[in-house]
């Protein structure tokens, strides 16, 4: 491609960057406070996650106070750029900026062999942020070339708080919320659970289902099938549909092998891994101090977005409890993702007592969380409470939380106090 054409393309992208930063509807992501300190590191910042979750916008917001070169490799006019041409393209982009100190390279995984180029930029002292739609940015190639010199930033769609802001509702002060306001927030919370947190959905709720359907198909076709080329494409599609719509439930690889008539559990594990690499699903292990038990126990499945779960559900509207647990899990990921010592698991004993979420740091349990749709004490599920108490004794944790739909307060069971808080209040203020 000749230099004049490249310059025209990159000038257009520079104008796009300006439009993004000046957009009055731009929502400041909650990630900013946690990720801004990372800019001080010389390591390459790698923002990855499901497509259309706002990775590029976050990168622009992080760099808004800096002079930075910007190249979007998802531009169809740059298709076919080779690794040999990368430096030439980058130098043209830098020439459009007054002494750039930083660089944002969007969807750079579209250029084969990009890892060595990033490595050289880093050696030359350029502060680099790269983004990508799937976890191939953290592939073995990147790890090999940037060993110990990159910081991963996992991006999720909007939280409930961000969704409210995007829809123009705003966040009321936490103290003195009236009963009427609480009911309003519960209604907004249900809307959030059913439509999910993708930014475009929040901005254009009337077309949410059409958008999510297109997005889901793009993830499957481009980020899974297009990247991994599975042998049994139809089976993978069916498996993806089943697991995504089974959010917050347990599964085993052997049961999936039998259900989909696959030749081996190894194939099933590969297919599930493809879906997690595309950031469509997240798999959670049982909490146990025994490694063998951890590897052989059932896994719990969560979707990257509750709106996609509702879209794919056989009986939409009937699994609000699963959507609620999924939303709590995603919010916990947002709160803890930069802490490598923190883990989220589930717990279950031989009598099938189960706790939805176990939060631990360095294998020491800090909190046990049960998620329930109850709004009245009369609806209290005693088994859920007893499971919390039993896990509390076994795991030596006294911080017990029941996230409800509308019930707030405290309940005591066998001398153990359990705090109760509605989801909307926990998501906004806890």
CATH number, domain of 99, equals 3.40.50.300
**Which one of 155, 173, 199 terminates a domain?**
155
pTM of the model: 0.95
The parent domain of residue 300 ranges over: 189-429
pLDDT digits 0-9 by tens, 88-138: 999 999 999 999 999 999 999 889 888 889 989 999 999 999 998 765 676
Same domain for 138 and 201, yes or no, is: no
Q: What does the pLDDT look like over 395-408, one tens digit per residue?
A: 999 999 999 999 99
Are 221 and 144 in the same domain?
no
In a shared domain, residues 205 and 354: yes
Tokens at residue 402, please? 């029941």
Residue carrying the six token digits 């997005």 = 215
**CB burial string 25-48: b at 16+ within 10 A, e below:** eebebbbeeebeeeeeeebbbbbb
**Residue 245 and residue 107 in one domain:** no
How confident is the model over 181-235, as pLDDT tens digits? 999 999 999 999 999 999 999 999 999 999 999 999 999 999 999 989 999 999 9
**Residue 415: partners with Cβ closer than 8 Å, 6 or more residues away:** none
Query: Of 148 and 287, which is predicted with more confidence?
Result: 287
**Are 338 and 259 within 8 A, CB to CB?**
no
Rounded percentage of the chain residues whose pLDDT exceeds 90: 86
Residue 131 lies in a domain: yes
Span 68-77, average pLDDT: 96
Same domain, 201 and 114: no
User: In this structure, what token pair is assigned to residue 417?
Assistant: 């106090």
Region 19-23: mean pLDDT is 93
- Verify that 222 and 144 share a domain, yes or no: no
Residues 6+ apart with CB under 8 A from 347: 286, 287, 354, 355, 358, 368, 391, 395
Q: What is the pLDDT of residue 174?
A: 84
Confidence of residue 141 (pLDDT cuts 50, 70, 90): low
SS3 386: helix
* CA–CA gap between residue 255 and residue 268 (Å, rounded): 10
102 touches 66 (CB < 8 A):
yes
Q: Where are the alpha helices (DSSP H) in 167-203?
A: 179-195, 199-203
CA 339 to chain centre: 15
Summarised one tens digit per residue, pLDDT across range 328-348 is: 999 999 999 899 999 999 999
Q: What is the Cα 328 distance to its own chain's centre?
A: 12
């Amino acid at each position: 491609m000749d230099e004049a054409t490249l310059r025209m393309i990159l000038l257009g992208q520079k104008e796009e960057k300006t439009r993004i930063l000046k957009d009055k509807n731009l929502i400041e992501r909650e990630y900013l406070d946690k990720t801004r300190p990372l800019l001080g590191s010389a390591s390459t910042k790698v923002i990855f996650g499901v497509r259309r979750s706002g990775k590029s916008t976050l990168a622009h917001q992080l760099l808004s106070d800096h002079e930075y070169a910007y190249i979007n490799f998802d531009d169809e006019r740059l298709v076919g750029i080779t690794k040999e041409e990368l430096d030439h393209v980058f130098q043209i982009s830098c020439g459009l900026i007054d002494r750039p100190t930083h660089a944002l390279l969007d969807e750079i995984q579209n250029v084969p062999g990009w890892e060595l180029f990033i490595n050289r930029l880093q050696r030359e002292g350029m502060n680099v942020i790269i983004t990508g739609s799937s976890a191939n940015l953290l592939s073995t190639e990147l790890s090999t070339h940037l060993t110990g010199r990159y910081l991963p930033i996992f991006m999720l769609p909007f939280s409930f708080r961000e969704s409210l802001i995007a829809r123009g509702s705003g966040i009321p002060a936490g103290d003195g919320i009236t009963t009427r306001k609480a009911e309003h927030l519960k209604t907004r919370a249900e809307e959030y659970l059913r439509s999910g947190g993708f930014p475009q959905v929040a901005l254009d709720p009337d077309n949410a289902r059409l958008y999510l359907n297109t997005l889901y198909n793009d993830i499957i076709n481009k980020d899974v099938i297009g990247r991994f080329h599975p042998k049994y494409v139809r089976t993978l599609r069916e498996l993806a549909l089943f697991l995504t719509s089974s959010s917050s439930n347990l599964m085993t690889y052997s049961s999936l092998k039998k259900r989909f008539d696959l030749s081996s559990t190894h194939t099933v594990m590969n297919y599930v891994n493809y879906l997690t690499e595309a950031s469509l699903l997240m798999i959670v292990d049982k909490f146990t101090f025994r490694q063998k038990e951890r590897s052989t126990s059932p896994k719990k499945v969560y979707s990257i977005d509750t709106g996609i779960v509702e879209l794919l559900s056989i009986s939409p509207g009937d699994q609000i409890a699963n959507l609620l647990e999924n939303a709590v899990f995603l919010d916990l990921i947002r709160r803890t993702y930069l802490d490598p010592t923190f883990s989220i698991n589930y717990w279950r004993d031989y009598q099938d007592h189960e706790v939805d979420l176990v939060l631990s740091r360095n294998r020491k349990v800090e909190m046990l969380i049960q998620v329930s749709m109850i709004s009245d004490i009369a609806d209290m599920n005693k088994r859920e409470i007893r499971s919390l108490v039993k896990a509390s004794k076994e795991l030596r944790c006294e911080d017990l939380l029941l996230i409800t739909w509308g019930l707030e307060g405290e309940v005591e069971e066998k001398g153990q106090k359990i705090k109760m808080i509605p989801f909307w209040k926990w998501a906004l203020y806890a």
